[in-house]
Structure 1
Amino acid sequence: MPTEILLNTARLTLRPVTPADRADLVALEADPEVMRFLNGGAPVPEAGDPDADFLTPRGSEPEVLAAHERSTGRFIGWFGLFNDGGADGAKTAELGYRLRREHWGKGYASEGAIALVAEAFDRQHVDRVTAQTMALNLASRRVLEKAGFHAVETVHPEFLRTIEGGALGEVVYEIRRGDARCGVI
């Protein structure tokens, strides 16, 4: 996805990450609860984890957006809209996000997800947006459902075997342009 994305929602500003965001990104991934459903709660090394099956942004990733509260300017986490190529003739992007624990349960994840889905359909001309979360991660599943996504399958990646609850797998979600739930035709 292009790097010029800058979005303002009612409560958030989403802008491309920069190297100045590195300390916030590293601190986010040092929280075991934030990392629980990604790697079992292990802090990610400051240099990132090149062997991870998930992104460890450090401030130079063109598809990652730093999320800040509009009212305070505080860093609350990041969102990403990643070009996933295409499948079945549909241009596809993948949504990802990670928020600081003190901002969970406030609707920020759904607000950011909805904004990025609209960005994908309106300006990036994407046909389908996907997202994945562990089946056990009920909060993240609710975020995706509030944003209009629906579950399409459950997969069982190898790396999940070492994470508590990993045997239940990951749920793959999607939303397509024109879905009544997304409000974008």
Structure 2
Amino acid sequence: MTRLLFTTPRLRCRQWAAEDLDVIHAVYSDPEAMRWVGDGQPIRRTACEHWLEVTWANYSERGYGMFALEGIASGAVIGFCGLVHPGGQVEPEVKYALLRSAWGQGLASEAIPALLAYGHARHGLDRIIATVAPENLPSQRVLLKAGMRLVEQRRDESGALDHVYAWLASGTGTATGQKP
């Protein structure tokens, strides 16, 4: 049985289960959905299987990782969100991706603030970042609506420029990590 983490008016967020593999693959093999993720290339099913195992290891090690988002009305998985440490980075980072059929409905804007609140309340995460390509304006809007602020630009492992957004729990300082 998978563990329920939080709900929003239209979504239920829970840990990944083996039964999610088909939807994981559907999202991450979609070239349009993957345009802004990693190297921009779709992921093969074997990579999705490996990612499922890595996520379960993250649950054991950190208590969090990637999570399934289910529509409350339908009960179907519509995408994923999570808190990860790509490449072993110290700061937790928001990641999310939805089935294309769920785009444009405000679901990411509903899920991400709840994910940030969950990370802080359950895991004591006071600062959470997100990286986004400068051209990915829809994701930038989602992050701004969630209370994240643009704090820097950095190059990813491929040399591409990313905008780095940060969220701070109330009363913990500024988005750059400085105390007020």
Residue from 63, 73, 76 that aligns with 1:74: 76
Amino acid at match of 2:51: P
Please name the residue that 1:115 is paired with.
114
SS in 2 for 1:48: helix
State the one-letter code of the partner of 1:58. L
Q: 1:60 to 1:17 in 2, by over 3 A?
A: farther
The change in CA–CA distance for 1:129 and 1:158 in structure 2 (over 3 A counts) is closer
Change (3 A) 1:46 1:109: same
What letter corresponds to residue 104 of structure 2 in structure 1? Answer: G
| Corresponding pairs, count | 162
CA–CA distance in structure 2, aligned partners of residues 146 and 5 of structure 1:
24
Kindly state the Cα deviation for residue 176 of structure 1 after the two structures are TM-superposed.
0.8
SS of 2:144's partner is helix
TM-score (norm: length of structure 2): 0.79
Following the alignment from structure 1 to structure 2, what is the Cα–Cα distance between the partners of residues 30 and 86?
25
CA distance 1:48–1:133, shift in 2 (3 Å): same
Deviation at 1:119, TM superposition (A): 0.9
1:117 deviates by 0.8
Aligned to 1:170: 162
Q: CA deviation at 1:83?
A: 5.7
Report the counterpart of residue 37 of structure 2 in structure 1: 38
Letter in 2 for 1:30: S
Which amino acid is 2:7 matched to? N
Q: Is the 8 A contact 2:147 2:167 kept in 1?
A: yes
Distance in 2 between residues matched to 1:148 and 1:158, nearest whole Å: 27
Greater helix share, structure number:
2
Q: What residue number does 2:141 align with? A: 142
Partner of 1:103: 102
Matches of 1:107 and 1:59 in 2, distance apart?
Answer: 29
Compute the TM-score of the two structures, normalised by the length of structure 1. Answer: 0.77
Give the aligned CA root-mean-square deviation in angstroms.
2.7
Structure 1 residue 27 displacement after superposition? 1.1
Equivalence map 1:7-26=2 (5 Å) = 7-26=6-25
Letter in 2 for 1:42: Q
* Contact 1:17 1:60 (8 Å CA) reproduced: no
Is the Cα–Cα contact under 8 Å of residues 31 and 41 in structure 1 kept in the other structure? Answer: no
- Structure 1 ranges of 4+ moved more than 4 A: 83-87
Secondary structure in 2 matching 1:47? helix
